Chains A and B, each alone.
Chain A
Amino acid sequence: MTDLSNLWPLLYRAFLETTLMVSISIFFAVLVGLPLGVLLFITQHHLLFKIKPLNQILGALVNVIRSFPFIILIVAIMPFATWLVNASHGPVFASVALSIAAVPLFARLVESSFNSIHSGVIEASIAGGASVFMIVTDVLIPEAKKGIIQAITLTIITIIAFSATAGVVGGGGIGDLAIRYGYYRYDTLTMVVTVILLIIIVQLIQWIGDFLSRREEGK
Chain B
Amino acid sequence: MSIVFKDVTKTYLHKGKEINALRPTSLTIHEGEIFGLIGFSGAGKSTLLRLINMLESPTSGTIHVGDDEMTALSNKDLRVKRRKIGMIFQQFNLIESKTVAENINFVLKAADYPKDKRDGRIDELLELVGLSDKKTVYPKNLSGGQKQRVGIARALANDPDVLLSDEATSALDPDTTKTILSLLKRINKELGITIVVITHEMEVIKELAERVGVMSDGEIIELGDVYQIFSEPKHEVTRGFVQDIYDFEVPAHIEETAENQIITLKFLRESAEENHLNKLYRNYDLSISILNGRVEYINGIPLGILMLQVTGEADEIRRLIESIDRTPGVERAEIYD
Pick out which of these stretches binds chain B: A69-77, A126-134, A167-175, A194-202: A126-134
Q: Measured between alpha carbons, how far is A123 from B157 in the docked complex, in Å?
A: 17
Which of A165-218 touch B at CB < 8 Å?
216
Give complex CA distance A79, B97 in Å.
45
For the A-B complex, the count of residue pairs with Cβ-Cβ distances under 8 Å equals 77
Query: Does the CB pair B93–A118 fall under 8 Å?
Result: yes
Contacts A47-B55, A120-B89, A134-B109 known; A128 to B95 CB distance under 8 Å?
Answer: no
User: Does B37 sit within 8 A of A, measured CB to CB?
Assistant: no
Q: Judge whether B98 and A142 touch: CB under 8 Å.
A: yes
Are A129's CB and B158's CB within 8 A?
A: yes
- Which of B83, B93, B98 contacts A120 (CB under 8 A)? B93
Q: Mark B96-119, 1 if CB is under 8 A from A, else 0.
A: 111000000011011100000000
Most chain B beta-carbon neighbours within 10 Å: one of A134, A145, A219: A219
- Give complex CA distance A167, B291 in Å: 90
Question: Which B residues touch A127, using CB under 8 A?
Answer: 53, 55, 82, 85-87, 164
Nearest-CB residue, chain A, relative to B110 = A130
Q: Which residues of B contact A138 (CB under 8 A)?
A: 95, 106, 109
Bound-state Cα–Cα, A1 to B158, Å: 73
Q: How far is the CA of A126 from the CA of B57 in the complex (A)?
A: 14
Question: Does chain B have a CB within 8 A of A7?
Answer: no
**Contact assessment for B97 and A128 in the assembled complex, using a CB-CB cutoff below 8 Å:** no
Is chain B's binding surface mostly helix, strand, loop or mixed?
Answer: mixed
Interfacial chain A residues near B79, Cβ < 8 Å: 129-131
Question: Could you tell me if B95 and A129 are in contact, using CB atoms closer than 8 angstroms?
Answer: no
Residues of chain A within 8 A (CB-CB) of B87 are 124, 127-128
B248 within 8 A of A: no
**In A102-142, which residues have CB < 8 Å from any B CB?**
118, 120-121, 123-131, 134, 138-139, 142
A218 to chain B, nearest CB (A): 9
Give the contact-size bracket for chain B: 20 to 34
Is A143 touching B83 in the complex (CB atoms < 8 A)?
A: no
Main secondary structure of the interface of A (DSSP, over half): helix
CA distance A126 to B93 in the complex (A): 11
Check if B111 sits within 8 Å of A129, measured CB to CB: yes
Partner of B110, one of A118, A120, A134: A134
- Name the residue of chain A whose CB is nearest to the CB of B158: A129
Kindly provide the distance from the CB of A216 to the nearest chain B CB, expressed in whole angstroms: 8
Number of A residues near B (Cβ < 8 Å) is 21
Residues on B with beta carbons closer than 8 Å to the beta carbon of A129 = 79-83, 107, 110-111, 158
Contacts A127-B87, A128-B107 hold; do A143 and B95 have CB atoms under 8 A apart?
A: yes
Please tell me if the beta carbons of A126 and B82 are within 8 angstroms of each other in the complex.
yes
Does B138 sit at the interface, judged by CB under 8 A?
yes
Q: A129-B82, A129-B110, A134-B110 are in contact. Are A118 and B91 (CB under 8 A)?
A: yes
Which residue of the partner chain, among B96, B110, B140, contacts A128 with CB atoms under 8 Å? Answer: B110
- Complex-state Cα separation, A128 to B86, whole angstroms: 7
Say whether B45 faces chain A, with CB atoms less than 8 Å apart.
no
Complex Cα spacing A128 to B151, Å: 11
A11 to B91, CA, bound (A): 55
- Tell me the residues in window 118-140 of chain B with beta carbons closer than 8 Å to chain A beta carbons: 138, 140
Q: Do B98 and A128 touch across chains, with their CB atoms under 8 A apart? A: no
Is there a chain A Cβ closer than 8 Å to B266's Cβ? no
Q: Are B82 and A143 in contact (CB under 8 A)?
A: no
Least Cβ distance of B87 to chain A in Å? 4
Interface contact A128-B154, CB-CB below 8 Å:
yes
Contact B55 A142 (CB under 8 A): no
- CB-CB nearest in chain B for A145: B97
A125 touches B106 (CB 8 A): yes
State the 6 A-B residue pairs at the shortest beta-carbon distance, nearest first: A124-B93, A129-B83, A120-B93, A130-B110, A129-B82, A128-B107
Given contacts A129-B111, A143-B95, 19 further A-B contacts (CB under 8 A): A118-B91, A118-B93, A120-B89, A120-B93, A123-B55, A126-B82, A127-B82, A127-B86, A128-B86, A128-B154, A128-B158, A129-B79, A129-B81, A129-B110, A130-B107, A131-B79, A139-B106, A142-B95, A219-B96
- A residues near B (Cβ < 8 Å) are 47, 118, 120-121, 123-131, 134, 138-139, 142-143, 145, 216, 219
List 24 A-B pairs, Cβ < 8 Å.
Answer: A47-B55, A118-B91, A120-B89, A120-B91, A120-B93, A123-B55, A124-B87, A124-B93, A124-B151, A127-B53, A127-B164, A128-B83, A128-B86, A128-B157, A128-B158, A129-B81, A129-B82, A129-B111, A130-B107, A131-B110, A138-B95, A143-B95, A216-B97, A219-B138
